[in-house]
Structure 1
């Protein structure tokens, strides 16, 4: 696996991308990279890209354009008329937006019921089967390159403030993704470690036992719906004994 500095370079996922990772062939290597980075930057939180980095960056760019994420020009030092918009202005703008989003996410902790997420995803049996497939074969999510983002927030659940996503109407947006991440963290000890164009990656310190796996799946049924889908029982068996959990968050995550 090759790791190189990408901070401030053209082609980075966004202004929080600090490291380029390549030459990996197992998702466990990406998890290890995140865990190592956590110890190196304890004052921040880290997130690594998963499936389809280019599409993830594109939709994240548009997700940033939501009206409720915009910060007034006079609050972050936007260039005035006639002044050039340079890299320093870009950095100030991204930091201001991430700070605002982190505050909004923190304010909404625990206020979004899981049952409300199912109305957006419209889950079918085929979608549940995709959750089973990817959790059984997590390397399906690997792209040829991943970028590790260092986000200046002080809590694991707020790392999405550096990479909001979920751009289309049938996707879970950043607030819904945060609600899911917060619940999995509080109830089951998961931390969000990765985000792709359609999938989220969670990891925990210890593998799931049988009863723990059943409890996780019960909560996922609340979040995704389709309670009669036969794949849920299979998913409980697939994630048992593992410390990773991979969840689709877009209307087309099954297409992977």
Structure 2
């Protein structure tokens, strides 16, 4: 793995996500190596929280930029000098604060029931869900950025790279509801986002009762409560019982 520390005040030969980019990782060995690194960062710098990119970095940044143009999340950049790193930093701090505030705005907050069934998964989608959770390293892009964010809670890390742009996908607020539910109900901490996937980790693997409850939740979430897909959910249950991680897709037709 090639690891490069980033300082937003210095020019680089690559383009970071934004001024919150702290590390650039190239050719990661595995998801386990990434999680170990994030654990070290959390221990060494408890005043921050860390979010990493997952799949398809370019598309992830593209759709996030468009998501930030939505009325509820957009702020004015009229006074920002984009040739001045300090000015850009000030703007991005204001934007981060605004997105966090909007995610907690009672007039905009959604419920779990409001997200359930909004994304209908096919049998192929569920198989992709199983395969990705069984071999999560396969989703990682060749370059991964680690964002260092001054946010007070893990669920608010999504304010750093808010995503969910296309109308057929979960939007930013729906993604946030899923993140909160996974944390509150199952102890999964949000740690990564890509163009299609949300990444979670917990201190230990699920107990059987937790896994069974989670499968019911996920089947409902993806609109797959029919008997036809029950065997696939049992297969996913076995995968999650053997790991501490969980990866959920927020885009339409992700099994293609």
TM-score normalised per structure 2: 0.89
Corresponding residue SS for 1:69: coil
CA displacement, residues 216-241 of structure 1 (integer Å, 9 cap, x when unaligned) = 11121232211122321211111113
Runs of at least 5 residues in structure 2 that lack an aligned partner in the other structure = none
Cα distance between partner residues in 2 of 1:102 and 1:199: 20
2:95 to 89, 94, 97: 97
Q: CA deviation at 1:31?
A: 1.0
Q: Which has more helix, going by share of residues?
A: 1
Is 1:5 matched up with 2:5? yes
Give the corresponding residue for 2:123. Answer: 125
Divergent runs of 4+, >4 A? none
Q: CA deviation at 1:193?
A: 1.0
CA contact (8 A) 2:49 2:157 kept: yes
CA RMSD, Structure 1 to Structure 2 (Å)? 2.2
Runs of at least 5 residues in structure 1 that lack an aligned partner in the other structure = none
CA contact (8 A) 1:106 1:158 kept: no
Give the corresponding residue for 1:160. Answer: 158
Give the corresponding residue for 2:249. Answer: 248
Q: CA deviation at 1:108?
A: 5.3
Cα distance between partner residues in 1 of 2:190 and 2:86: 29
CA displacement, residues 85-121 of structure 1 (integer Å, 9 cap, x when unaligned) = 6333322221111101112223459x53323224431
1:53 to 57, 65, 84: 57
CA contact (8 A) 1:136 1:238 kept: yes
1:223 to 216, 221, 224: 221
Corresponding residue SS for 1:177: helix
Corresponding residue SS for 1:169: coil
1:63 to 45, 58, 67: 67
Q: How many residues align?
A: 249
Is 1:212 matched up with 2:225? no
Q: CA deviation at 1:84?
A: 7.4
Q: Kindly tell me: are residues 171 and 136 of structure 1, through their superposed partners in 2, closer, same or farther at Cα, counting changes over 3 Å?
A: same
CA contact (8 A) 1:151 1:161 kept: no
Give the corresponding residue for 2:31. Answer: 27
Q: Kindly tell me: are residues 93 and 22 of structure 1, through their superposed partners in 2, closer, same or farther at Cα, counting changes over 3 Å?
A: same
Cα distance between partner residues in 1 of 2:204 and 2:46: 21
Q: CA deviation at 1:187?
A: 0.7
Is 1:236 matched up with 2:240? no
CA contact (8 A) 1:114 1:222 kept: no
Q: Kindly tell me: are residues 108 and 212 of structure 1, through their superposed partners in 2, closer, same or farther at Cα, counting changes over 3 Å?
A: farther
Corresponding residue SS for 2:115: helix
Q: CA deviation at 1:139?
A: 1.7
Cα distance between partner residues in 2 of 1:95 and 1:234: 43
